[in-house]
Amino acid sequence: MTSQAESRRASTATFVLAIGLGLVGSMGLALFGTVVGALASPASSPWWFSVSLSHTAAIVGFYASLGLFAGGWAWLGVMAHRGQLSLTTAWVALGAWATPLLVGPPLFSRDLYSYVVQGLLAAKGHNPYHSSPSLLHTNPAFAGIATVWQHTPAPYGPLSVLATTTSVRLAGGSLFLQIILVRLPALLGVALMGLAIPKIARRLGADPVLGFWLGVLSPLTLISLVGSGHNDALMLGVMLLGVLVLLQERFVLGTALGAAAAAVKLPAALIVVFPLMSTLRRSREGRGRLLAAVVLTSAIVLVALSALAGFGFGWLSLSAFKIPAELKTLATPSVAVGVFLASLLHALGSGVATSSVVAVTRTVVSVLTLGALGWLLWNVHRYEWVRILGVALLILAVGSPTLWPWYLLWGTCVLAATLAQRSVALSLTASLPVLLVGAQGTPALNGHSYLYVVPLLAAGVLYVATGARWRRLLGPTHA
């Protein structure tokens, strides 16, 4: 008995230390972020709490804190892989680590300021799908918006606009409260992820606690979805709830949730398409009724949410995709490859414009991406559709015209609930990409960084393509 009691005390002490390490890291990110984070205008609009340090000292403290945060997460991961972490303890870690990020300044992204101004536009009666943030250029939040988004209408769905508008109305005129309350829908999304992932994992024979650790507690999840407040959190939360319901073979409700998730951001529409195709390809019975039910349910949900928001269907127009299609970041594979090839051509004496080469590589990658998604969709019935959905979302993110780190969460959080959750590559995907963006929200890869990005991409593609690894990635077949 004494030995068992001592073992329990040692285990409790280990969890306390691991959670404490992550908490110190999270608090450090929030504190040092008041100097080096994505502040709207540090001189005229400092955060409501701050630390007085030089920029250099704050940068050192910030990234040291990020290391502590990642260390706490990795420590809990070791416990999770050994089966020593409970779901209750994981929820405690979530609450402890998310709280400083919730009340701290925006980190690694300036999108929160865009959300605030879009919500203000809607609250004042302007259509955010027609009016740009520049209409409220005197508002303190406008100074924090990335330049490319200052004159661009909202590209998000009606559910996202409804959530931000409600949050902004509750916050009043305080920029601090606006930022914090606009994060609440994202926090709700993370909570829904925490509820759905373990339940999905149990149904698929995976480890629910390991799924929670990988999909909910990871640095990329908490920093991108809470610290940065991205609406991808709400999309993922509703989408994963839809996955759970669809696994229970409740197609109408699952489709409704999938459509609602797509009404935040469009990539979630894949949750409607993949399970539907899996069912249609498996059985000929009742195909017409099922297809009609899915199409009708999706249409009703999207029309209802658009009507409730009151701003029409501008979020589905091609203009909503204009900026993502125009941005060129070296973290985006198609862009990095294009710049790399252009540099080789220039070295050989060619005068071809880099932008022309990038346009070609983007087109090629888009075609390959669509081809891969089409193949997965046609063959989804041969595999576990949840896992295929996760792979498809990862391919969509990597093959998109512009890749931001949080896009990788679309597939990572789905795969966290499957038997792919023990993959080392998946754990690295849930942590390291946060470094692709600087603390102020600007891309970290610039200059000649394509010289090592492209070889790494090539090595990754070769690794997946050889030794039948790509088939193992999809999981066992049903046939």
Read off the pLDDT of each residue in 336-362 and give the average, rounded to a whole number.
91
* Tokens coding 159: 């559910």
> Which residues on adjacent β-strands are paired with residue 437?
443
Confidence of residue 13 (pLDDT cuts 50, 70, 90): confident
* Tokens coding 425: 């590559």
Cα–Cα distance list, 286 to 128, 276, 281, 283 (Å): 41, 12, 12, 8
What DSSP element (H or E) covers 110? none
> DSSP 3-state assignment of 45?
strand
* Tokens coding 58: 């704050």
- Per residue in 40-56, pLDDT (tens digit) is 876 666 788 888 899 99
* Tokens coding 198: 């373990």
Cα–Cα distance list, 421 to 21, 197, 212, 307, 387 (Å): 24, 11, 10, 39, 10
Instruction: Evaluate if residue 325 carries a pLDDT over 70.
Output: no
pLDDT of 82: 92
Closest CA to 262 of 294, 287, 289: 294
Within 33-135, strands assigned E span none
pLDDT of 448: 81
Confidence of residue 2 (pLDDT cuts 50, 70, 90): low
Instruction: Evaluate if residue 166 carries a pLDDT over 80.
Output: yes
pLDDT of 454: 86
- Per residue in 271-298, pLDDT (tens digit) is 999 999 999 888 777 788 889 999 999 9
* Residues contacting residue 70 through CB under 8 Å, at least 6 positions apart: 25, 219, 431
What distance in Å separates the CA atoms of residue 100 and residue 83, rounded to the nearest whole number?
28
> DSSP 3-state assignment of 286?
coil
What distance in Å separates the CA atoms of residue 233 and residue 220, rounded to the nearest whole number?
11
pTM of the complete model? 0.94
What distance in Å separates the CA atoms of residue 229 and residue 217, rounded to the nearest whole number?
15
**C-alpha torsion angle, residues 201, 69, 160, 247 (rounded to 10):** 0
- Per residue in 356-375, pLDDT (tens digit) is 999 999 999 999 999 999 99
- Per residue in 373-400, pLDDT (tens digit) is 999 999 999 999 999 999 999 999 999 9
What distance in Å separates the CA atoms of residue 38 and residue 227, rounded to the nearest whole number?
10
What distance in Å separates the CA atoms of residue 108 and residue 434, rounded to the nearest whole number?
8
* Tokens coding 336: 């990095």
Mean model confidence pLDDT for the chain = 90
Estimate the crossing angle of helix 184-203 against helix 232-247, to 10 degrees: 30
Instruction: Evaluate if residue 467 carries a pLDDT over 90.
Output: no
Instruction: Tell me how many helices (H) and strands (E) the chain has.
Output: 21, 0
pLDDT of 28: 97
Query: What sign for the dihedral angle of Cα 420, 421, 424, 428?
Result: positive
Confidence of residue 479 (pLDDT cuts 50, 70, 90): low
Task: Count the neighbouring beta carbons within 10 Å of the beta carbon of residue 293.
Answer: 15
- Per residue in 129-159, pLDDT (tens digit) is 998 999 998 898 998 998 888 988 889 999 9
For a pLDDT cut of 90, what percent of the chain falls above it? 70
What distance in Å separates the CA atoms of residue 412 and residue 308, rounded to the nearest whole number?
31
176-180, 319-323, 464-468: segment of lowest average pLDDT: 319-323
